[in-house]
């Protein structure tokens, strides 16, 4: 399969899965396994194209984010929102920096992804049934304790297959955040989190950055931006109508299928 087609397929997987609680990294790793992609350059590729999906959030929420940005010097509400996002970002940023090598060398495997997909799906189903009564309904007005709690849960997403959005949404539901607000705060938290991951991987893999490689990244970037924008525009209404159970069952089905393929030797 030509590299440009692989770039399109992986960009599509990234954009569709980044903002729903099914693990974009996990699905990308399983997609690479299915496509027979084992060149190390693709490991960096799947991190770099995440920036395309993140820019989709910036584009769709531009007016609200711009209002916060220009209001930082004078508006206490804008500063409070910025504090909550930065506070939620800090725990996973610190742990990611400290254990980035271990995570990539030890945890990036199909078997780990499949198990965490299943466990995360079960957790989502449990919270759909037994989540506490919501107390927080506005993603831009979280208290600092809630923001920190969501940030601590985001640390779970460093395990491939757990899902960044899944971990933050789980944390939000447990802490009394309404479903729609939990999903929306996950969008906002993705911006500094994934920009940080992009910068770190770009620097560590700078020797791989050739014109041809940048061309592949550009293809994946554009595809993830377009597909990510579609998902962000439709997800909140979908969650309001159907909750998170469909995503939970999808996680369990994909994880179970993956374990079967591993057990039968189809996947190494």
The pLDDT tens digits of the residues spanning 129-159 come to 888 999 999 999 999 999 999 999 999 988 8
Q: Six-digit token pair at 3?
A: 């590299």
3-state helix, strand, coil in the chain (%, to 5): 80, 0, 20
pLDDT value, residue 268: 60
Are 25 and 193 a contacting pair, CB within 8 Å? no
pLDDT at 85 over 90: yes
- C-alpha to C-alpha distance for 163 and 82, rounded to whole angstroms: 23
Are 163 and 23 a contacting pair, CB within 8 Å? yes
pLDDT value, residue 61: 93
pLDDT at 99 over 70: yes
pLDDT value, residue 187: 93
DSSP-assigned beta bridge partners for residue 221? none
Write out pLDDT tens, residues 183-226: 999 999 999 988 888 888 778 777 777 778 888 999 999 999 99
What domain range is 251 assigned to?
A: 3-263
Write out pLDDT tens, residues 226-244: 999 999 999 989 988 899 9
How many helices and strands (H and E) does the chain possess? Answer: 12, 0
The pTM score is 0.88
- Range in 37-41, 86-90, 254-258 the model is least confident about: 37-41
DSSP code for 69: H
Write out pLDDT tens, residues 53-62: 989 999 999 9
Q: Which residue has the higher pLDDT, 68 or 99?
A: 68
How confident is residue 94, by pLDDT bands cut at 50, 70 and 90?
A: very high
pLDDT at 180 over 70: yes
- C-alpha to C-alpha distance for 92 and 98, rounded to whole angstroms: 10
Q: For residue 268, is it within any domain?
A: no
pLDDT at 109 over 70: yes
Q: For residue 46, is it within any domain?
A: yes
Residue written as token pair 């990036």: 108
Mean pLDDT of 259-265: 89
Q: For residue 82, is it within any domain?
A: yes
**Torsion sign (Cα): 54, 57, 63, 67:** negative
Strands (E), 49-112: none
Q: For residue 48, is it within any domain?
A: yes
Q: What is the mean pLDDT of the chain?
A: 90
Nearest to 28 by CA among 7, 54, 5, 2: 7
Write out pLDDT tens, residues 243-260: 999 999 999 999 999 999
pLDDT value, residue 48: 84
Q: For residue 18, is it within any domain?
A: yes
How many structural domains compose the chain? Answer: 1
CA dihedral 157, 158, 159, 160 (to 10 degrees): 80
- C-alpha to C-alpha distance for 209 and 81, rounded to whole angstroms: 36
């Amino acid at each position: 399969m030509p590299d440009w087609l692989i770039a399109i397929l992986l960009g599509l997987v990234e954009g569709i899965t980044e903002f729903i609680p099914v693990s974009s990294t996990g699905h990308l790793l399983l997609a690479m396994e299915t496509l027979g992609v084992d060149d190390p350059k693709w490991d960096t590729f799947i991190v770099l194209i995440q920036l395309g999906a993140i820019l989709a959030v910036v584009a769709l929420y531009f007016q609200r984010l711009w209002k916060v940005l220009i209001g930082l010097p004078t508006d206490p509400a804008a500063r409070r929102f910025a504090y909550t996002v930065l506070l939620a970002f800090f725990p996973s940023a610190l742990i990611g920096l400290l254990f980035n090598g271990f995570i990539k060398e030890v945890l990036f495997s199909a078997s780990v992804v499949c198990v965490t997909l299943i466990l995360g799906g079960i957790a989502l189903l449990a919270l759909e049934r037994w989540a506490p009564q919501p107390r927080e309904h506005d993603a831009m007005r979280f208290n600092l304790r809630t923001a920190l709690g969501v940030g601590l849960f985001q640390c779970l997403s460093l395990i491939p297959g757990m899902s960044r959005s899944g971990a933050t949404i789980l944390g939000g539901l447990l802490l009394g955040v309404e479903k729609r607000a939990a999903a929306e705060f996950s969008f906002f938290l993705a911006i500094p989190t994934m920009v940080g991951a992009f910068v770190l991987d770009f620097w560590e893999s700078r020797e791989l950055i050739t014109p041809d490689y940048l061309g592949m990244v550009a293809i994946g970037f554009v595809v993830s931006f377009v597909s990510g924008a579609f998902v962000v525009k439709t997800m909140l209404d979908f969650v309001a109508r159907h909750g998170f159970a469909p995503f939970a069952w999808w996680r369990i089905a994909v994880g179970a299928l993956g374990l079967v393929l591993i057990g039968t030797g189809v996947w190494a």
